[in-house]
Amino acid sequence: MEKNFKFKTDIRVRYSETDMAGVVNNINFFRYFEIARTEYWRTAGIIVMDVLKRGLDVVMVHQECDYKQPVYFDEILEIGVRTGEIGDSSFTIDYRILRKATGEEVAAGKTVHVMLDVSSRKPCPAPDWARDILLNFENS
């Protein structure tokens, strides 16, 4: 895993995630991103339910994935997650998925998220406390 991906988590490919050819179906990479992102935020100190209690929400507005190699049932994948760009109300999360046994990169992607005010459902500036948590986590 590249050294600039400080956070990593493992996922074992389940049978239900594969197609008739035994290859992981492409949509599952976005599920892997979501699982890893949730663990990343939790480890950094951001609990999604606590964000909602503060009257804020985080919504995804864009996602992309570059598939580099097929992945098969029962393989263990190592997913690196990091915060990319942080704007006024949006931020980018980057992902790298490696085949744990060999270290080969099998996929890379990113998601873009926007902070919303729950009552108005309109974008709002990301609060300083959230920025500080992510920046401190990435720079520690």
- Catalytically active residues, by annotation: 19
- DSSP output for the chain: --TT--EEEEEEPPGGGB-TTSBBPTHHHHHHHHHHHHHHHHHHT--HHHHHHTTEEEEEEEEEEEE-S--BTT-EEEEEEEEEEE-SSEEEEEEEEEETTT--EEEEEEEEEEEEETTTTEE-PPPHHHHHHHHHHHH-
